[in-house]
Amino acid sequence: MNVMSDTFKAVLLEQDENDEVSASITDVASDALPEGEVTVAVEYSTVNFKDGLVINGNVGRLVREFPHVPGIDFAGTVEASDNSMFVPGDKVVLTGWRVGEIYWGGLSQKVRVKGDWLVALPDALNTRQAMAVGTAGFTSMLCVDALEAHGLAPENGEVLVTGGAGGVGSVAIAILAKRGYTVAASSGRRELTDYLMELGAAEVLDRAGLSGIESRPLE
Ligand SMILES: NC(=O)c1ccc[n+]([C@@H]2O[C@H](COP(=O)([O-])OP(=O)(O)OC[C@H]3O[C@@H](n4cnc5c(N)ncnc54)[C@H](OP(=O)(O)O)[C@@H]3O)[C@@H](O)[C@H]2O)c1
């Protein structure tokens, strides 16, 4: 994709006089990019839980200023840099820092962000693979790391993954199974039982049979 032109394509959210938020794929002028140190030509992003909230009418009011470009993560190639850590051509990845919420995000051909928010892409991953993992998959790995730091181990018994068919839960099932855990997954979608078993679940429980999990944050 050519991102050197005066415009680039992005998912743009706009709010009308009735506070209704709508999203469209729009040509955005390059000089409308926000201030920042590093301009990145985006190759891949993901559609995360938060992006779903924001694009579907800004549920939860995560976005306060419009126009806005959503997308909480991206991987791409540095196009221009005022930060000594990055030079044009570097492959980079970003997740977090409230990009896509209070800063313009990755559902765009071009982004401009602070250099501190970027991570050099590891040699073992290309940009597509990095975003196939995405923020949800990265979150799953952080959860597994944290649980293991608190003593979780395969020999201590089964692990239950709730929200098993969701973005975080599905990757958690795959990571845990790969690491030798016996995984029980709970899901409200019985029709996805085969999928959850393919990911590595040894058992799938009906969400309705579990108590105390009734609300979803941010809604
Ligand atoms: N995505 C991220 O990067 C990220 C980062 C940090 C924290 N989180 C948090 O992690 C959680 C999961 O996020 P996600 O991105 O995986 O969201 P998601 O893809 O929407 O998955 C959430 C899953 O929760 C289950 N669920 C839905 N309604 C439920 C209810 N009433 N009671 C119990 N379970 C219900 C559903 O799974 P089943 O249909 O299989 O039951 C759904 O797929 C959220 O609380 C989110 O805020 C996410």
Residue ranges of the domains in the chain?
Answer: 7-127, 153-209
* Residue 46 Cβ < 6 Å to ligand 1: no
Residue 184 predicted with pLDDT over 60: yes
CA angle 59-138-38, nearest 5°?
A: 80
* Mutational pocket test of ligand 1: of 72, 216, 218, the residue with most ligand atoms within 8 Å of the beta carbon: 216
Q: Architecture of 153-209 per CATH?
A: 3-Layer(aba) Sandwich (3.40)
Q: Which residue has the tokens 């790969």?
A: 178
Residue 2 predicted with pLDDT over 50: no
CA distance 215 to 219: 8
Q: Encode pLDDT of 94-143 as tens digits.
A: 999 999 999 999 999 999 999 999 999 999 999 999 999 999 999 999 99
Residues near 212 by beta carbon (within 8 Å), at least 6 away in sequence: none
CATH number of 7-127: 3.90.180.10
* Residue 169 Cβ < 6 Å to ligand 1: yes
Of all protein residues, the one whose alpha carbon is nearest to atom 43 of ligand 1 is 166
Q: Encode pLDDT of 135-182 as tens digits.
A: 999 999 999 999 999 999 999 999 999 999 999 999 999 999 999 999
Total residue count of the chain as it appears in this document: 219
Q: Encode pLDDT of 62-92 as tens digits.
A: 999 999 999 999 999 999 999 999 999 999 9
Three-state secondary-structure class, residue 127: helix
* Residue 188 Cβ < 6 Å to ligand 1: yes
Six-digit token string for 33: 């990019």
Matching fold, domains 7-127 and 153-209 = no
